[in-house]
Each structure stands twice: as structure tokens, then as C-alpha cells.
Amino acid sequence: MHILFVDDATIPVSKYGAVERFIWWLGEELNRRGHQISYLVGKGSYCPFAQVIEYNPLTPLSQQIPDYVDIVHFNFPINQPFDKKPHLTTIHGNYPTFQPLGTNSVFVSKNHAARHNSESFVHIGINTDDYGVVNWSSRRENLLFLAKASLKVKNLISAITISKMVGEQLTVAGGWGESNDNVNYKGMIGGIEKNQVINSSKALLFPVIWHEPFGIAMIEALYFGCPVFGTPYGSLPELIIPEVGFLSNNASELIEALHHIDDYNRKKCHEYVCDNFNHFKMTDDYLKLYEKVLNGHSLNNINPANYPSDSFELPLYG
């Protein structure tokens, strides 16, 4: 099978970029299994295991898709007619209310799908080789905020307040600010540096105030043995079971739970990710969807669309 991945970003990614990691891991494993992979992606991209074609946002998609591919895997909603090749689209974000999406849309969590009136989803699975071996003897000295800090829905303000109330310093990986005794800003980091920062953290704070579609930062943190403390929105109740973290929309309850970080088994957090959120399982699931599409079936009976409530911020009480 010849699969073409389409995205407007540049690969490989060095720092922030969940979608770029997703298409790389999936393409890499599909290639290992004998499938031919091509990428239609942003300028400056390269890939050792696949053909790379430069994406041009000003050119109609039908003119950019090679005739020799069997199926096209889009990673953004397409707003133009496209019937040149069998295709599906992974929806990675939350989209405006009532925006209709294609019938071959795939979401990144069960909750994400349900909020768009769909049952079609595949969890993102990481390639654990990219993260290396966990250093279980590493000294853990801080709480961690791992997200794009400029996004209000990621709720850095509450993460800072909660960590201060717990009496722990917060490391912020995902943006810049003025560091002080309570907060240490690392900026946008990736690769070995990011892995070391996670590996030296006690736990991940993830107090989002929106319906998180998936949240790869949680999977990365758990891989390094960091339990997750967050709000019960979006994918979080689906991904964070009691053995690996604690969820509440009450800051006081999160603060109390954080006093018991040492009650969590770090190796169980790691094993939970390795067993449930690996790129082998993700690839298995996508191959089933590719076959379904190639056999002429739609992944949804109707066009998925977002619910009105998704445009509002969700509460985190005091």
C-alpha cells in the first residue's frame, strides 16, 4: 500500500509539534511493515524512509496529490472538494461550532469523537525509542507544566498557583516568562533536553480548562514515571486512570492529592504507556481504517460536527 500523509507543517520536528510526531511515527512504522510512504508537507522537510513533496497552500490539493498513491491521509480538515483518491482525515483539534467535517474523519480520543457526533477514533501512540531509557535513579525536584504556555486553555496561571500552594517549584516547558523562586521557565524545548526535564520532575500538572482532544504531553510524562494531576475534561478521564494520576475540577482537591505524589508507582505509570499508547497499536488501528476506506466504506454515517459548548472555557474551582 502506498500512503500519502498531508500536513502543512515541516518534518521532522525538533521541539513543539504533536501532529508532526504523529505522522512521523505512523509513517515510520508503516514503512517498517513494508508499506510505501510519501509526505506532502511544509517547506524544508526531509525524511530518510519516505518521499517528501513540498506542500503549497495556494495550489488545489487535487493538483498536488500524485497519481501513484493508494490512499491519502490528511491531517487538517479539507475545505475543498476532493475525490481524486480514497482518503481519511485525522482531526487533531477542536473546530468551530457546527463546522461540518468529512465523513472519513478520525478523532484522537473517544471523547473527542463523541463531541463531534462520531465513534471513529484512534489514540495516538508514541515511539518509545524516541524517548530512550528512563533513569529511575534520577532526582525528582519539581512539578512540571508541559504545554504551549501562551494558550489560555492550557491554564498556566492555575498551574503556578497550585504548585505554589503545594510548596513545590514549577518548571514550565513550553514558553518564556520571568523565572523566580516559584517558577522556572525553560522555553520551547525538545529532544534530549525535554526528556531530561520530564525525567527529573515529580509530576505533571495539566489543569486544562477546555476539552483536551488528546494531550500527548500526558503520555510523555507518564512514560518517564510522572503521575498526571489535571482537570476531568476532554480526553483526561479516558487516559488518566486512578493508578497513574488524579483528576478534579477543584483546585483544593488537586493540591491535597499532590501531597501524596509518592503514593504513585512510577514504573506502573511507565508500563501503562508502553502497554496502551505505543505506535505499534496505533498503526494496527489505522491499517484497519485504511482497509475500510479502500473497500469503499465511510468511517462515519453523517458528517461530524462540533457541539456548541466546546467554544466556552470550563471551570476550575478554588
300 and 204 belong to one structural domain? no
56 and 105 belong to one structural domain? yes
Contacts of 194 (CB under 8 A, 6+ apart): 15, 146, 173, 220
Confidence category of residue 15, pLDDT binned at 50, 70, 90: confident
The residue among 253 and 78 whose pLDDT is bigger is: 253
Backbone angles phi, psi at 47, to 5 degrees: -160, 125
- C-alpha 290, offset from chain centre: 21
141 and 270 belong to one structural domain? yes
pLDDT over 70 at 308, yes or no = no
260 and 242 belong to one structural domain? yes
Confidence category of residue 318, pLDDT binned at 50, 70, 90: confident
94 and 158 belong to one structural domain? no
Chain segment 88-103, per-residue pLDDT in tens: 999 999 987 677 899 9
In CATH, what number is assigned to the domain containing residue 194?
Answer: 3.40.50.2000
Count of CB atoms situated within 10 Å of the CB of 249: 16
159 located within any domain: yes
293 and 268 belong to one structural domain? no
What pLDDT does 315 receive? 85
316 located within any domain: no
Strand order in the sheet with 183-187: 183-187, 170-173, 142-146, 201-206, 228-230, 245-247
181 and 240 belong to one structural domain? yes
Residues of the domain holding 73:
2-125+280-311
What pLDDT does 164 receive? 97
pLDDT over 80 at 270, yes or no = yes
Dihedral of CA atoms 139, 145, 148, 150 in degrees, nearest 10, equals -130
Chain segment 142-156, per-residue pLDDT in tens: 999 999 999 999 999
Confidence category of residue 47, pLDDT binned at 50, 70, 90: very high
248 and 114 belong to one structural domain? no
pTM of the model: 0.95
121 located within any domain: yes
234 and 151 belong to one structural domain? yes
- How many domains does the chain divide into? 2
Chain segment 157-180, per-residue pLDDT in tens: 999 999 999 999 999 999 888 899
